[in-house]
Every structure is written in structure tokens, then in C-alpha cells.
Amino acid sequence: MNEVIERFLKYVKIDTQSDEDAQTQPSTSKQFDLARLLYKELIDMGAEDVYLDESYCYVYARIPANDGGMRSYTLGFISHMDTSPEASGENVKPRIIENYDGGDITLNVEQGIVLKTSVFPEIKDYIGQSLIVTDGTTLLGADDKAGVAEIMTMAHRLLTDDSIKHGDIAIAFTPDEEIGAGTDNFDLKRFGADYAYTVDGGGIGELEYETFNAASADITVKGVNVHTGEAKNKMINAARIAAEFDSLLPPEQKPEFTEGREGFFHLMNITGSTESASLSYLIRDHDRAKFEAKKALITKLADILNLRYGEGTVTAEVKDTYYNMREKIEPDFMFLVENVSDCMKKLGVEPKIQPIRGGTDGSSLSFKGLPCPNICTGGHNYHGRYEYCCVESMEKICELLVMLTETV
């Protein structure tokens, strides 16, 4: 079995799910389980300056140049260790389907869980190749353990094959990316790269330097609970007001109705009773002006409902998460995108330069002064039980990462 696949199958069995409700970093201590393994593996393979941040759960390492100083800058590679809170990452059971035949894939016979081509038609692009799937009860964790495995495989190859001439290489693995906190305590000085790539994308060929602008919104509704027999002109039903709030948002601006650069409001959670209710939203848009307008609409709707039901009935807390890194990359650093595109073409991969309908650690890192486009990992259907990853794509991406390091 290829090294990158061996690493990937090992890493996905370690539960590293992050917790969006936690107030600490890392948000879950179990992320240290993978961090400590990576730390040991990097030391064992001979990487330099290997460091595990025992406070915040970051792993850093360096691979020294062997090209005699031909490359003047340090290039970095970053992936995140956590998996999404949206689906369980515990007791992941990966399996490889060799020579995929193009039909539906039964993930779990007992529970009737099937990866259907009618729902996920793009899977047919991988006919004749090998796919890694789960048993349908958990996510797979290719987001972003595929990226972790690919970077680790690249590092091992550079450290064991002196014929590959490369400049200084920086490596980092981060916690809590899935909850928007992946770079909160990232040490740019220790990392030491001039430019970097996150390896955190999707299918083979994907290459991105444009992300959403992102914010979260937490809506709280206070009601008045009175016996229904005496409720007239007294009861204020918080659960109904919560539902009313959601109904006032533009119905076409939901993730299930949008694509490309179209932004949305995503209702993540709603709970409620007559006395109290709450809603949690993700707000996304690639366009900064439209993004600001979406945030303003959340506040406006709270004001409208307060006029209707009484001041203080509805409160809205809106918090920015990250911004579109295109603002930082496009003016001066498009050569980073062009380098990946050129390498992909040399490897027979068609580059698919497109906006991310999401975000990466590279979003905030680019705004912190580290230009950081995003490279594919070979995975699909992230954050859920239908997640899968292509073996041949992962192997090709390892070749791509090595090629990017080479001094030519």
C-alpha cells in the first residue's frame, strides 16, 4: 500500500472532532492525540525544529534546504488536524473500494446507508479508480487528514531522497480550523515561511485563492409564558418568534439554493420553548459589500421584531470569522497560484481555479501577512457520512507537493 494511504488510514482512526461551543483552544483535548503522533513521526523522519505547542496544540517543523541557497524564500505547507463538529469522528471505519465500477456504494447494509450516484453524480468521475469510504455511521475525516497525510508523505520523501533539490520548507498542523479558530494562536514567527499553501481543498485539480467572507450570528428570543387559558394579549411565544425570524430571511439565500459566488444565511441550530428560543446562523458572501449587507439585515430583523413584540424580545450578536483572501493574494501574489497551476499541468492534472464555498486557515493567515492559497486533497462530501476520498488523487497530490518544493 502506498505510504500516503497508510498514513491516512491511521490518522482517520484518531478522533479529533472540534467543539464550536468550547471556550478553549484546542476546543477538545483529543486533538492532542494526533498532534503528538505527528510530532513523533516528524522527529523520527529527521525533520528539524520540530515543536509541539502544548498550550494550543499546533505542530511545527522545518525541512532544511539542500539546493545551495538557490531558492531565496521559505515555502510553507499547512493542514488542520480537527474534523467537523457536524458529524461524529469517533470509531471511523475506513475501507477501500478498488476499481470502482460506477454504481451506488452501499456503506452500511444493516442501516441501509447508500452513497447514491443519483445524489452524488460526480463520483462517476472515478470509475476504475480506488475510493476510500466509511461504514456510513461517521464522517471519514479527509477534511483535512488527507491533507495531513499528503504533507507528511511529502516531508518523508524530501528527507529521504537527496536527489530532490529544494529550498527551506516549513510545515504546520493546526487545531480547530473547522470552528473558525485554526489560526487564533498560530505562531507566524516560529513557522517562518514567506509564502504558504493550505492543503485543505476537495477533488483533484481544485486550486483556490478566493474564499467567503464569513460571520456567525446568534439570535436570542425572550418570551412570556402564560397559561394558554389566559394567554390572550399576555403570552409572547419565543419559539414562534424564532420561526418568524427565520421566515423573514430571503428564502433564495440558503446554501441549498446557492452556488459559485452566491452568498447565504445558513441556519445551523434552532431550539425553543414558549419562554425562550435561540437560533445560530452562518453568514457567507464572497463580495464584501453584500457580506456587510447580510450582517446588517440580521440586526434589522431583530429591530423589526422588537418593534412588534417589545424592546428586548430579540437580541442579535453578529461576529466576523474570516475574510476573502482574494483581497490579499490577487494584488501581488498570483505567482503562487500560477506555480501550482503549472505543476498540475506537468502532472497531467487540469487545474480548476475556483472560489471556495467555505474558508481555510489560509483566509486569516493571508490577512495576517502570510499569503496562502489552497490546494486540493482528493476528498469529496466533507462533514458527513457520505464523505469519500480517491486513492489515485491523493498519490498525485503528493507528487504535486514535492514538485512545488523543487528548485528549478
| Nearby residues of 85 by Cβ (< 8 Å), 6 or more positions away | 17, 18, 19, 20, 178, 179
Burial 190-223 (b: 16+ CB within 10 A, else e): ebebebbbbbbbbbbbbbbbbbbbbbbbbbbbbb
Q: Of 343, 329, 30, whose CA–CA distance to 176 is shortest?
A: 30
Tell whether residue 21 is among the known ligand binding residues: no
Closest CA to 172 of 194, 153, 193: 193
What three-state secondary structure class fits 143? helix
Report the chain's C-alpha Rg in angstroms: 23
- Report residue 83 CA to chain centroid gap: 8
The answer to whether 200 is annotated as binding is yes
Q: Is 227 annotated as a binding residue?
A: no
Could you list the beta-strand ranges (E) of 149-286: 169-174, 195-199, 206-208, 213-222, 264-272, 276-285
Whether 184 has a binding-site annotation, put simply, is no
383 marked among binding-site residues: yes
Distances (CA, A) of 156 to 7, 76, 162, 389, 407: 11, 15, 11, 22, 18
CA distance 380 to 204: 10
Provide the annotated active-site residues: 82, 177
Count of CA atoms in the C-beta half-sphere (13 A) of 341: 13
Q: Which residues are annotated as a binding site for Zn(2+)?
A: 80, 143, 178, 200, 383
